[in-house]
Chains A and B, each alone.
Chain A
Amino acid sequence: MRRDLWYLTLLALGLFFLFSGGTSEAAVYTQCPCYLLDANGNPDPSQLDPAKGAVYNPATGNVECSYTDALGPHEVVCKSLSAGDGHVYMADRDRTGADPTIGDTYVFGFSDVTGVANDEVMMVGMLATNISAPTIHLKEGQEFYLSLTNVGMIERPDLFDPHTVHYHGFANAAPIFDGEPMASGGINMGSTFTYYYNNVEPGTYMYHCHVEASEHMQMGMLGNLYVRPAQDDDDAAKALGNPAYTGFAYNDCAIPGDPLCGTTGYHVAYSLQETGMDPKFHHADGSYNPLDFASMDDKYLLFNGRGYPDTVDLNPIANIYGHNSQNTNALITATQGQKILLRISSLSTTDFFTVTLLGMKMRVVGQGARLLSDPYTTSSITLGGGEGVDVIIDTTGVASGTYFLYTTNLNHLANNGEDFGGMMTEIVIN
């Protein structure tokens, strides 16, 4: 059901004034060493510190800087996310635009507010949810400052839910930065929590909100997260590829003479996250109704928050309000002879899924954010929620054309009532 935009705007403004009223108690407060300080001595996201070489990297969406202090040298990246609600379109939407309610889905989620001034984060972040959540790109050795601002659920003003980020798989996690709310805490509306992660274990991870996880994760607070290895700077290792590799999934040459050396090398890399949405649950949540956890049953199955054919649409998808709420696609392209790294993860809240790839073999080289000591070749990958693998696809000798990667849980190859969609995407070999 379409909601009255004016009503929402009023609510949004109300929240904005409530939380931007200048009290020191509730305030957006971004923490990142790459920013200059404002007049109050607080980091100002709109001012990069040139003395630390701070830049915004459009390829990763991170602010980066480096400096040395009493503790030693630091390589820092920063990102700011907002957490709240919004809308997305599922792939069974009416592409003629005649009925904008078809496929319109109420969601919770994250939005990227990196570089937004503190006093603008609430307005920029409200109803700005992205599905998938913005992909977090990291590299081994980087210290990561992640500022999470809770902008409130604008269409559910009766909810006072905190939000968190759970960096799923982070080694030796400390609860304060683990985002699991029973063991730590979540941030309230109008306020900011900054997570700190020293990234020493490369690999494929994922992230999600862990507050009332059965609800918040079904509602869409899910995203890709990976850490590139230090070996990406090793030209000798890269030269093992022909042409030279552009990167690796893991430090597979760390042990001299290891036969695994070079096995995770790739020329192009993509992240694919398997998720799903239960339209009945989302409708209940968006219409103030009791939530039926026991009957939760995903009817929209997604890669990176989209069902086929939206998975292969390179353009952002605008939601019912015209906001670009689905900015991550799942199209994979490579040139014949290249090796493709696929970082496949699942954050389904309901099911295990198997995906298959026609025309090429997949070689599983990593699992659980670790180099696999016994890599294997397969045509199918089965993942439950919270599981992830790294797959290398060698396109040597593969004819140019379009190849399909899709779930073999064939009843889920659908966009709700519409057949032949859902959890499917294309690999285009040029």
Chain B
Amino acid sequence: MDNLLLKKGRLAIVLMIVLVALFPASAKAVVDGIYGETLGISTTFNLTVKGGTISMSDGTVSYLWGYADGNGPAQYPGPTLIINQGNNVTVNLTNQIPTISGNPQTSVSIVFPGHGVTATGGVPGLLTREASPGQTVTYTFTASQPGTYTYFSGTQPELQVEMGLFGAIVVVPATAPDCPALAPDPVAPSRGYAYCHPDAYFDREYLFLLSEVDPVVHRLVEQGKMSHVDMTSRHPTAWFINGRNMPDTMAMANASWLPNQPYDSMPMMHPGEMVLMRIVGGGGNLHPLHTHGQNHLVIARDARLLRSAGSATVDLAVSDYTTTSVPGQTVDAIWGPWTGEKLGWDVYGHTGTEPGICVPGPVPPTTIDANGFDINTFEYCPDHGKPIPVKIPAQSLMQFGAMYGGTPYLGVQGDLPPAHVQQNPMGGFSYMWHSHNERELTSNNIFIPGGMATMALVLPYYDMDGNPIQIP
């Protein structure tokens, strides 16, 4: 496992963490995606279906049909469309699927669950109008309600979605006057909101678009043997988050060696921050998505808040450690906040004598909030200075993972045995977020670990030298 990580992921992750320090503090974390061309309240996307290659973490590749942004490369998954609430959306879809000798000509299309769509151009299809090879079809709809949506092929979808024709849509809630009830979060005014409701405040947002690949299907299509494909015997052997397997999920976005898989999946946050998880079932199977470290609160399903009619709060929200992602369904959940509170020991490894931490006073100016947190460091002060209650065995008695910071403490990086890979130079607390159908932690029969998993990373507010740590 370590060897493969060393080859494939080390540089990328180190780069990513170096980047953390370079981004300005004001940068607001949003999911990667495209915004189209906006004129007034009209937004236009030009998507093209093209061929490409899915690179998997066992080292193999699969043939791809992907939606591309205009003249860009095919993407697995398709570009995430980011739209402002209320905008009139036009999606022009052009069919540039490669012609492979032996296969029939293939039309393509898109359906947009949750939106009222008008289709024009192209040719009539069963579910919607389609683009024949070389043609363009146009879909228009109004993005009336904010939230997380998905789009995918409406033409022979059992095959075309497997081949890669699916993506996510984020409709960003409008500002006042369409969101009049929502004032900035009094606790943290910089927070965004996923819906026009105070229960949907978040500090950072990440996409979890889950999918699977059965390489046999892709091979038959690539070889011009589409007539041999039998989707009833589909048997996926590789599992993806945002189009990548672990550990590629942790490599940086737009990595040059993954030209058709631009989206990463590496949530990073500070203690106390609310992390919005936009979970989309993009494949054909259910997946139980488990978040290590803390429960998440499921606040919305299919872009609608979970609340009873007339309720002032999201009263049907459910806190859980594992949430089922269903094909074609979207779920919004708020992870955390992870606070480190009440663990019974000081997770920062403090002895209690550090100046200005959890000791109210003018120099440096520190106060402790009503919940017991130091407002500067977000340390839980009732546990400040308490030693870890057990002895950790000598390093020779253990095997460590690449995301172990080297000590039990948050933000305290320590040395690991010689030749040991370490990809967590700031000593963050790392948590695997993954499919809990553990069979899906493999990529085409290789346990790397691979498959549908990534590592979230909680970074402290300050590094060991007292400098602020910025997260992009």
Q: Which A residues fall within an 8 A CB radius of B?
A: 25-26, 29, 31, 71, 143, 145, 162, 166, 168-169, 171-176, 178, 180-188, 191-196, 198, 200, 212-215, 217-218, 291-296, 348-352, 367-370, 372-374, 382, 384-388
Contacts and interface: CB of A to CB of B under 8 A. Distances in A.
Nearest to B429: A175
B449 A214 contact: yes
- Residue in A162, A172, A296 with the greatest tally of chain B CB atoms within 10 Å: A172
B321 A349 contact: no
B401 interface: yes
B388 A196 contact: yes
A178 B292 contact: yes
Contact of A368 (B293, B320, B397, B398): B320
B429 A174 contact: yes
B432 A182 contact: yes
Nearest to B405: A175
Given A188-B397, A373-B315, A183 B404 contact: yes
B174 to A, nearest CB: 29
Sorting the interface of chain B by its residue count into under 10, 10 to 19, 20 to 34 or 35 or more gives: 35 or more
B441 interface: yes
Interface of B: 1, 235, 237, 286-288, 290, 292-295, 315-322, 324, 338-345, 347, 386, 388-394, 396-405, 408, 410, 429-432, 435-439, 441-442, 444-447, 449, 455
A200 B397 contact: no
A182 B403 contact: yes
Nearest to A162: B399
A294 B455 contact: no
Contacts of B429: 174-175, 183
A386 B431 contact: no
Contact of B442 (A192, A294, A386): A294
A294 B212 CA distance: 12
A20 to B, nearest CB: 14
A352 B294 contact: no
Contacts of A384: 286-288, 322, 324, 436-437
Nearest to A297: B439
Contact of A182 (B290, B397, B398, B430): B430
A196 B390 contact: yes
Contact of B399 (A25, A181, A213): A181
B321 A350 contact: no
A172 B341 contact: yes
Contacts of A369: 295, 321
- Residue in A26, A71, A198, A293 with the greatest tally of chain B CB atoms within 10 Å: A293
A296 B439 contact: yes
A172 B294 contact: yes
A313 B324 CA distance: 33
A187 B378 CA distance: 31
Contact of B292 (A180, A294, A349): A180
Contacts of B399: 162, 181, 185-186, 188
A364 to B, nearest CB: 10
Given A25-B397, A172-B293, A183-B432, 12 more contacts: A25-B396, A143-B389, A174-B429, A182-B432, A187-B398, A193-B398, A212-B449, A291-B447, A294-B237, A349-B438, A386-B288, A387-B320
Contact of B322 (A166, A294, A372, A387): A387
Contacts of A293: 439, 442, 445-447
Given A191-B393, A213-B449, A293-B445, A368 B340 contact: no
A412 B390 CA distance: 43
A373 B400 CA distance: 40
A299 to B, nearest CB: 14
A1 B71 CA distance: 60
Nearest to B394: A25
B401 A214 contact: no
A200 B343 CA distance: 9
B321 A212 contact: no
A29 B449 contact: no
A215 B341 CA distance: 33
B393 A29 contact: yes
A374 B320 CA distance: 14
B390 A175 contact: no
Contacts of B398: 162, 185-188, 191, 193
9 A-B pairs with least C-beta separation? A386-B436, A368-B320, A384-B288, A198-B344, A182-B401, A176-B408, A183-B430, A169-B321, A386-B322
A91 to B, nearest CB: 23
